[in-house]
Amino acid sequence: MDINYKTKIYVAGHQGLVGSAIIRNLQSKGYDNIVTRTRQSLDLMDKVAVDCFFSQEKPLVVIDAAAKVGGIHANDNYPAEFIYNNLSIQNNLIDGAYRAGVQKFVFLGSSCIYPKMAPQPLKEDYLLTGALEPTNEWYAIAKIAGIKMCQAYRKQYGFNAISLMPTNLYGPGDNFDLQNSHVLPALIRKFHEAKINQEATVTIWGTGTPKREFLYVDDMADAAVFLLEHYSDTGVVNVGTGEDISIKALAQLVQQIVGFNGVLVFDVGKPDGAPRKLLEISKLRQQGWEAKTDLATGVQQTYGWFLNNQQHLRVVT
């Protein structure tokens, strides 16, 4: 399809970390026909409500950034919610969009779709070749189902749905809840509070040896809009930086940026998760896109946002 700045685009999950960044990116590029709905005004788990929304608004493009997300603790403690909520949301959006005549659908998944012990870096072809990481398999299975639903609707109906698999994301608007957030925002808050309270130590979950890849959320949004404009094939596309860092080194980086002068303690009784998760991104690079924000700069910008928005930080369960 020919996408232009007047094309009506619905961004699902626009108040979340990724969705808000996609809105910023679209607006910065001149798109001015963007449709959004708050969770209060449209329950994406309600199929009748979603179908009614599509019938009324008739967007030509849907970007699905709506999901229940969280770190190891949240995934491990709320498995039923992670699989049911995410399946419900994406089923309603994909089917509703197809039936309403949407011309392009962008589904956002996660790097946790890949097997726990898959070779590194993780290629798109590794999907469904092994067992998942147990602590987040519920979320991963839901996202895998979303990918396959997009492919099934393309195969049977010719529905133009693409699936993007971002690595670990962080940035302005993140969830900084200490129990249910991802590792990077949790570290920022931990170190900041330890600094303010003049604590002697900060405890980090696990051994610190696992390696993770981190992508600044505004880079992810830029990739999503770029691929919306330039990519329309059935295959999954990994979205990342192509570089990873150990949790210990990440903690030390955050410690330095926040200015905490105490000691790091690693709680080896807590789960590490997968030993390494690095995406292979040659497919993305061949499309002509690369990340622009290095990790230190991104963490500095995220910490700056955290400092300026503490009165209304997003904390979810």
* pLDDT of 226 higher than 90: yes
| Nearest residue to 1 via CA among 228, 251, 155 | 228
Give the rounded percent of residues in the chain with a pLDDT score beyond 70. Answer: 98
| Residue 6 vs residues 3, 31, 95: alpha-carbon distances, Å | 8, 6, 24
Q: How does residue 317 score in pLDDT terms, banded at 50, 70 and 90?
A: very low
| Nearest residue to 166 via CA among 235, 128, 109 | 109
Handedness of CA 65, 70, 74, 79 (dihedral sign): positive
* pLDDT of 83 higher than 50: yes
Question: What six digits make up the tokens of 70?
Answer: 């969280």
More confident residue, 214 or 314: 214
The greatest distance separating any two alpha carbons of the chain, rounded to the nearest whole angstrom, comes to: 60
Q: Is the peptide bond before 121 cis (omega within 30 degrees of 0)?
A: yes
- Cβ–Cβ < 8 Å for 206, 269: no
- pLDDT of res. 74: 76
- pLDDT of res. 223: 98
| Nearest residue to 87 via CA among 135, 48, 47 | 47
* pLDDT of 27 higher than 90: yes
Q: If you average pLDDT over every residue of the chain, what do you get?
A: 94
- pLDDT of res. 69: 80
Which residues are annotated binding-site positions for NADP(+)?
Answer: 13-19, 108-111, 143, 166-169, 182
| Nearest residue to 12 via CA among 86, 75, 80 | 86
Query: How many C-beta atoms lie closer than 10 Å to residue 119's C-beta?
Result: 13
More confident residue, 101 or 1: 101
* Tens-place pLDDT, residues 122-178: 999 999 999 998 888 999 999 999 999 999 999 999 999 999 999 999 999 998 987
Is 10 an active-site residue?
no
Q: Phi, psi at residue 190, to the nearest 5°?
A: -60, -50
Query: How many C-beta atoms lie closer than 10 Å to residue 102's C-beta?
Result: 23
Q: Is the peptide bond before 185 cis (omega within 30 degrees of 0)?
A: no
Rounded-to-integer distance, Cα 143 and Cα 242, Å: 22
* pLDDT of 302 higher than 80: yes
Rounded-to-integer distance, Cα 61 and Cα 63, Å: 7
* pLDDT of 315 higher than 70: no
Rounded-to-integer distance, Cα 295 and Cα 273, Å: 21
Question: What six digits make up the tokens of 275?
Answer: 């030993």
* pLDDT of 72 higher than 60: yes
- Tell me which DSSP letter residue 132 carries: P
Indicate the pTM of the whole model: 0.93
Q: Which of the residues 31, 139, 153, 170 is marked catalytic? A: 139
* Tens-place pLDDT, residues 202-215: 999 899 999 999 99
Which residues are annotated binding-site positions for substrate?
Answer: 190, 205, 212, 272
Q: How does residue 314 score in pLDDT terms, banded at 50, 70 and 90?
A: low
* pLDDT of 316 higher than 50: no
* Tens-place pLDDT, residues 166-212: 999 999 999 898 776 788 999 999 999 999 999 999 999 899 999 99
Rounded-to-integer distance, Cα 285 and Cα 281, Å: 6
Which residues are annotated binding-site positions?
Answer: 13-19, 108-111, 143, 166-169, 182, 190, 205, 212, 272
Write down all domains in the chain, each with its CATH number in brackets. 9-174+214-243+278-292 (3.40.50.720)
- Cβ–Cβ < 8 Å for 189, 176: yes
Residue 277: CA atoms inside 13 Å, Cβ hemisphere, count?
A: 25
Q: How does residue 271 score in pLDDT terms, banded at 50, 70 and 90?
A: confident
- pLDDT of res. 131: 96
Rounded-to-integer distance, Cα 194 and Cα 190, Å: 6
Tell me the mean pLDDT in the region 240-251.
97
* Residues facing residue 279 across a β-bridge: 122
| Nearest residue to 295 via CA among 250, 260, 239, 247 | 250
